Amino acid sequence: MADDFSDKKPSRRQFLAGAAALGAGSTAASSLSASDDDPLITEVQEWAQITGDGVDATPYGLPIEFEKDVVRRNVGWLTADTISSINFSPIHALDGTITPQGCAFERHHSGAIELRKEDYRLMINGLVDQELVFTYEDLERFPREQHVYFCECAANTGMEWAGAQLNGVQFTHGMIHNMEYTGVPLRTLLNEAGLNAAGDLKGKWIFVEGADASSNGRSIPMEKALDDVLVAFKANGEALRKEHGYPARLVVPGWEGNMWVKWLRRVEVLDKPVESREETSKYTDTLADGMSRKWTWAMDAKSVVTSPSPQSPISHGKGPLVISGLAWSGRGAITRVDVTIDGGENWYEARLAQPGTKMALTRFYLDIEWDGEEMFLQSRAHDETGYVQPTKEELREVRGLNSIYHNNCIQTWWIKSNGEAENVEIS
Ligand SMILES: Nc1nc2c(c(=O)[nH]1)N[C@H]1C(S)=C(S)[C@@H](COP(=O)(O)O)O[C@H]1N2
Ligand SMILES: [Mo]
């Protein structure tokens, strides 16, 4: 489906001519915006004449007040109450790849619970040699690992199936965060309990559940459980925030966010999946003929331009413009991202800020000389399996319009000549 649309590159040279004149990493002097008699240059400012705050003012820092709009936001009609709730990461305003916990999206089925480390227990039961219960302190004594992974809710972009709907990348794509996790491989804990009792591990499953009222139970094939799943207790170096499952959560790299059980309390080894609510009536994908597809765990390759975008319009007029965005794949590393400014007529290979790593966000840039004309901006991700992110039309051909989850289509932003942006569909 996704590999039969080819690059058309006829005007690449023409397009790059302007950009080439800039020279690497420099901005044309004519487009710098400060003037010669700018009082911010010629006058001694107040902040240079008085002392600033002392080090005790912020024992734990918050963003400076000028950045107070860079926060999680929700969509009123999606979050009827704050118990079964969702909010979105402000990805239009972030750069790099790491999401600060303080503004990382949250999804709770029955609210965020407060669970003390002292009250934390993790049970491993079922087909194991010896059923075990770990305390938080016990977890801290197993060898740990660190990995950066994205967590994307399966419903991310789910409101966009039928048409362009939410006007902001925070709302269309913000059910994602990307953190550096510290934790113990689940494999280590399962081996501690012993898997001989399970016999042949092929076809075996685990069922994981959380300590909150929803319990959010999910079945995971043993192969994945023994591969890269972590029981994590730190994110970005610090304790998990309450909302992300303090004191410990499951990290299931590349797989839908729903499986990343927070406040993890139990892992049961089974010879079949449980077929719980969260994997039957929810988190299945209804196709055009009404049949539902299940076990769609991996998040397919996806990307989006985060700026410019509706919440991050162009304010500086024509000239040098940094186009930036995020790409990710639940099946491995991002290998390439293409960007088009004319709705897919011509594609240019974006610059990856860092080489892609497995199941983690990759930041991309395309530095252009904007002529001030309207653009239809899109990005297209490629991952290490050779998969190419599909257009909305291609995805609809296969999936129909009944789905909610797993919408990884190419997003279009219409950038108007005044720099404002709008969520649109083109065909
Ligand atoms: N125990 C528990 N785990 C849970 C949930 C929950 O409600 N309870 N929500 C799931 C869903 S649907 C998602 S998308 C992710 C969101 O993780 P976050 O809140 O840290 O962003 O957690 C998952 N784990
Ligand atoms: Mo989710």
DSSP of 59-80, one letter per residue? SS----GGGTT-S-B--TTT-S
Q: Find out whether the beta carbon of 152 lies less than 6 Å from any atom of ligand 1.
A: no
Residue spans per domain, the chain: 12-23+298-424, 101-292
Strand partners, 123: 133, 266
Q: How many Å lie between the centroid of ligand 1 and the Cα of residue 256? A: 10
pLDDT digits (tens, 9 = 90+) for 328-370: 999 999 999 999 999 999 999 999 999 999 999 999 999 999 9
- Ligand 1 atom closest to residue 107's alpha carbon, by position in its atom list: 19
Q: Find out whether the beta carbon of 258 lies less than 6 Å from any atom of ligand 1.
A: yes
**Amino acid in the structure at residue 273:** P
CATH topology of domain 12-23+298-424: Immunoglobulin-like (2.60.40)
Please confirm whether the linkage preceding 10 is cis (ω < 30° from 0): no
Q: Find out whether the beta carbon of 228 lies less than 6 Å from any atom of ligand 1.
A: no
Q: How confident is the model at residue 82 (pLDDT cuts 50, 70, 90)?
A: low
Burial class, 55, CB count within 10 angstroms (exposed 0-12 / middle 13-18 / buried 19+): exposed
Lookup: tokens for 409: 């289509």
pLDDT of residue 36: 85
What does pTM read for this prediction? Answer: 0.93
Beta strand pairing status for 292-293 and 302-307? unpaired
pLDDT of residue 284: 93
CATH topology of domain 101-292: Sulfite Oxidase; Chain A, domain 2 (3.90.420)
Q: Find out whether the beta carbon of 109 lies less than 6 Å from any atom of ligand 1.
A: yes
Alpha-carbon separation of residue 57 from 30, 60, 284 (angstroms): 41, 9, 49
Checking if the pLDDT of 274 tops 90, the result is: yes
The C-alpha angle with vertex 108 and arms to 296 and 121, in degrees rounded to 5, equals: 95
DSSP letter for 225, please. H
Beta strand pairing status for 218-221 and 205-210? antiparallel
More confident residue, 8 or 128: 128
- Ligand 1 atom closest to residue 210's alpha carbon, by position in its atom list: 1
Cα distance between residue 9 and residue 346, in whole Å: 5
Q: How confident is the model at residue 10 (pLDDT cuts 50, 70, 90)?
A: very low
First and final C-alpha spacing in the chain: 17
Lookup: tokens for 100: 């600060």
Q: How many Å lie between the centroid of ligand 1 and the Cα of residue 250? A: 10
More confident residue, 12 or 163: 163
Q: Find out whether the beta carbon of 106 lies less than 6 Å from any atom of ligand 1.
A: yes
pLDDT digits (tens, 9 = 90+) for 113-122: 999 999 999 9
Cα distance between residue 141 and residue 163, in whole Å: 50
Lookup: tokens for 387: 């998969």
Cα distance between residue 128 and residue 32, in whole Å: 66
Cα distance between residue 221 and residue 279, in whole Å: 13
Q: In which residue are the tokens 């970005």 written?
A: 236
Strand partners, 366: 323
Q: How many CA atoms lie within 13 A of 145 on its CB side?
A: 13
Q: Can you say how many angstroms the Cα of residue 392 is from the centroid of all Cα atoms in its chain?
A: 19
Give φ, ψ of 235 to 5 degrees.
Answer: -135, 130
- Ligand 1 atom closest to residue 245's alpha carbon, by position in its atom list: 20
Q: Find out whether the beta carbon of 307 lies less than 6 Å from any atom of ligand 1.
A: no
The ligand minimizing its distance to the Cα of 177 is: 1
Q: What is the dihedral of CA 405, 254, 237, 233, to 10 degrees?
A: 80
Give φ, ψ of 389 to 5 degrees.
Answer: -55, 130
Alpha-carbon separation of residue 324 from 327, 350, 419 (angstroms): 10, 9, 15
pLDDT digits (tens, 9 = 90+) for 306-322: 999 999 999 999 999 99
Cα distance between residue 361 and residue 55, in whole Å: 34
